Amino acid sequence: MNAQFTFHPDRCVGCAACVMACINEKRIDIDEQLPFRMLLSNEYVDGDRVDVTYFVQGCMHCRDHPCADVCPKQCFTYDRGTGVVLLDNSECIGCRRCANACSFNAIQFNRSQRALKCDGCIRNLKRDRLPLCVLACQRQALTIDEKNDIVKDGLAELNKEISVYEHRQ
Amino acid sequence: MAFEIRNSLCRVCSSGCPLNVWMNDEEILKVEPAPGGKLCARGYIYRDYVLRPDRIRTPLKRIGKRGSGKWKEISWEEAYTEIAKKLNGFKKKYGAESVAFYTGYTKWYRPIFHRLVHSFGSLNYGTESSTCHMSMRMGSLLTYGSLTRPDIMKSDLFIGWAYNPFFGQNYDGMLLENYKEKGGKVIIVDPKVTPAVKFADLHLRVTPGTDGALALFLGNYLISHDAIDKEYIEKYVHGFEEYKKEVRKYTLERTAKITGITEGNLMKAAKMLEESLHISCQVSGAAIPHHINGMQNVRAILAIQAITGNFDRQGGILPVEYSNEEFNIKVLWDDFVDETRPLSEDGSGYQNSPAWHHENPWFNPEGRKLVKPKIGSGRFPLWSTMIDEFQSNDLTRQLETGEPYPIKALFALGMNHKMFINNERLMVALDNLDFFVDVDLFWTTAAKNADIVLPACSSLERQELVEQGPTVRFTEPVIKPLYESKSDVDIICELANYLDLDYDDKILKDGYETVCKYVLRKVGVTLDQLKASPTAVKIPGTLPFFEGRSLEDGLRTPTGKIELYSETVAKIPKEYKLDAVPTYRESLDKASKTEFPLILTAGGRIPGEFHSRLMGVKSTNILRPLAAADIHPQDAANYGISQGDTLNIRTQTGQIQVQANLTNTVKKGVVFMFQDYEEANVNNIIPLDHLDPYSGFPGYRTVRCAIERGKTE
């Protein structure tokens, strides 16, 4: 399986199953780090009409992976078999260039200022099983393995939602 | 290292979604949905739920003052002996009714617990269903003699009353989506904007608690526009004329004023109904009944299917229980509970209910002991007639006054005091008890205040017979019970061996497997077969739905017809002032509108929480770091409140302090608050007598309140 993640904001209902699935799969202690999928939302009001858009933030394993390009220590590698962008933080110096280059706020730092990010549940992908957040999604809002144009549209929309959210904060 | 996947069930809520539990020897690594299934946010943290650090570990006996936290470890043997000595003593001295038996949310063991209470010789069995589901059930039984389910895929129009399946009921959510794709129309009636609204052709943002007026208006419109099924009404409906007279009061203008929905939207909704042939609906079992007019609102809502000929018809709403007993092939839990039932000495009680049929061959009233009426009988006669449980919202009053008889002891399983109205008053009243036992997995407030605490275990640690639709399943534990905990059922059955029972209950005393064999005896599947199957087994002989079958056989109502004029309600003495037709009245309390200008809505579902069960799971803090109430940005502006400010919410009964969350998803003038925060107990500030006279349900969702910006420390 190929881990090109796509997110379709119009399909997400904000149930947070992906967030909890990530916590469960990666046994994340939320006092130490955030889950690799985070649920955020925007509200749009038009007269009486209120639209809530949810979006799930996390590594999309971009094909052009800007995080990898800016890392001075070559911590990032691209797995050709699955398309996953992998991070080995043992050489990380905490310069945060990768985080700044990422459009999806997908990179966080642990207490010792080393970068952390999603590994696409690569062990699952290699066994032809879905990453847990994708498996958890009831409505195929979070998908992998789609054609490139859908990937681009989905990501453009997600990017828009994230920038609205950031502006509001 | 031995790696293995074992099968079990998630039991955070009652859905019982199948789990694959990934094990490394006896360590739980993680959970996944069984292949082809889905889990919600709650299911994915089931491991953390089972391993919550505040699990109660051993049986404990209080040695300090109540609530002081001073305990002595005792053995199970000592615990049973002590409990039996006390309960048997109260029974002898004051009668069996002086012991109240209560269970909190979980439902799987309820018939077994219920039977123990009957065998003990009392009707004082109560549950948290006094605040959830049962009021909706009453409305449904009064009208149709059965609960109903929407036949959504064959509908033209689906009306979801406070309906949002996306924060838990995965299957219903998928169904709604498939229905929409097929071109079905949807109306969602909800003051809040929820994900279900994305699927609505029309969203009616009704003022909380006014759903009944809206439904009566729709009835009025359909009748006056001749969009009703006259032949069906003639043949199957009782009390149409009385209903017709009542709905006339709900004109467009008046209804718009009551419900806060514009005349334009009311007309849009009415026209959608007029143009649809097959109309189905789903009524929330909590949001709609949680008003002091809630039970009547449920009846008003369900009446729409009666006048349009949509009950027991494809694409409408279907009965869940057949009126002909032969068609109800199922696990015999009702039979099991009835077998040892004593009778209420005032002649009232569940045995007179139309929903409960005298022809049952297993029920022989002769030789049965007459016992005191259950708690709440004097105050909520309709509830007491129809529902086979005491109305637990009357428990506080009876503990305080000792009227009509004193309650000396309480034996509770999984008691969550936050489910009770004005619950800190309950906690004070519990001090009047001579003896209080609580069984729980976790250190809840109730457990901390008990005299003896017993540790229960989770669904991963126990055997369980599960009936789901037309299937049954038997799960085996995937891990040994943690610490010294036991399955609730084992606790109930073992305790039965120590109690002085009026009915020498050999089946109960023999334990869970004997109970299971006994209730499976007419199902056609044996316990051994179930044990050998890793998945659910279809009950042989279960029949598909027959359209119109229940109507032809006669419904389980006093007239055998759909009752818009309820003969059951009409029999309740006049002084209780209950109306036999679904009338509407205001749901707010009598506090001053100038002093308390806003509406507080306490309770609702949020992702990742279920009552208080997951509050102790740290990971859920990622979704709701602090107790917060939702308020509309315009209300916030009026009171000078910004996002994240400390917010004081005050009612005539009390005050809580939470964080303000500004959102357009709540209706202007409404403050929404989830009910189970440890640090902000919102149900406690609902007035103790703010109860529905029909069902005894608390009016959690419409209480007058005031808000102000609090001091931030």
Could you read off the pLDDT of A117-139 as tens digits, one per residue? 999 999 999 998 999 999 999 88
| Average of per-residue pLDDT across B639-660 | 96
Contact list in B for residue A27 (CB cut-off 8 A) is: 29-30
* H or E, element range at B5: strand B3-9
Mention every residue, 6+ apart, whose C-beta is less than 8 A from residue B134.
Answer: B383, B387, B389, B695, B697
Please give, rounded to a whole number of angstroms, the shortest distance from the CA of B37 to a CA of chain A: 9
Q: What is the pLDDT of residues B668-688, one digit of tens each?
A: 999 999 988 888 999 999 999
How high is the pLDDT of residue B30? 94
How high is the pLDDT of residue B1? 63
How high is the pLDDT of residue B588? 97
| Average of per-residue pLDDT across B93-108 | 96
What percent of chain B shows pLDDT beyond 90? 81
Cβ–Cβ gap B44/A24 under 8 Å: yes
| Average of per-residue pLDDT across B327-336 | 79
Burial of A95 (0-12, 13-18, 19+ CB in 10 A): middle
Q: What is the pLDDT of residues A67-81, one digit of tens each?
A: 999 999 999 999 988
Nearest-10 Cα torsion for B653, B657, B663, B665: -40
ipTM: 0.92
Q: Is the pLDDT of residue B190 over 70?
A: yes
Helices and strands: H and E segment counts in chain A: 6, 8
Strand B537-538: give its sheet, edge to edge: B464-468, B471-475, B537-538
Q: What confidence tier does B352 reach under pLDDT thresholds 50, 70, 90?
A: low
Among A164, A163, A148, A140, which residue's Cα sits nearest to residue A8? A140
Nearest by CB to B166, from A13, A35, A50: name it. Answer: A13
Please give, rounded to a whole number of angstroms, the shortest distance from the CA of A25 to a CA of chain B: 6
The DSSP secondary structure of B190-228, one letter per residue, reads: -SS--GGGGG-SEEE-PPTT-HHHHHHHHHHHHHHTT-S
How high is the pLDDT of residue B358? 47
Rounded alpha-carbon distances, angstroms, from residue B300 to B15, B383, B438, B580: 28, 18, 39, 12
Q: Which of A20, A30, A165 to mutate to test the interface with B (most CBs of B within 10 A)?
A: A20
Enumerate chain A positions whose Cβ falls within 8 A of a Cβ in B. 13-17, 19-21, 23-25, 27-31, 34-35, 38-39, 43, 45, 48, 50, 52, 54, 132, 135-136, 138-139
Please give, rounded to a whole number of angstroms, the shortest distance from the CA of A19 to a CA of chain B: 7
Q: Which of A12, A15, A26, A135 to mutate to test the interface with B (most CBs of B within 10 A)?
A: A15
Report d(CA B259, CA B367) in Å as an integer. 53
Mean pLDDT over the full length of chain B: 93
* H or E, element range at B452: strand B452-455
| Average of per-residue pLDDT across B176-203 | 95
Return the SS3 of B671.
strand
Q: Is the pLDDT of residue B434 over 60?
A: yes
Cβ–Cβ gap A50/B193 under 8 Å: yes
Report d(CA B564, CA B557) in Å as an integer. 11
Q: What is the pLDDT of residues B59-97, one digit of tens each?
A: 999 999 999 999 999 999 999 999 999 999 999 999 999
| Least confident window among B187-201, B253-267, B343-357 | B343-357
How high is the pLDDT of residue B547? 84
Q: Where are the beta strands (DSSP E) in chain A?
A: 6-7, 38-46, 49-57, 76-78, 85-87, 108-109, 115-116, 142-143
Backbone angles phi, psi at B562, to 5 degrees: -70, 125
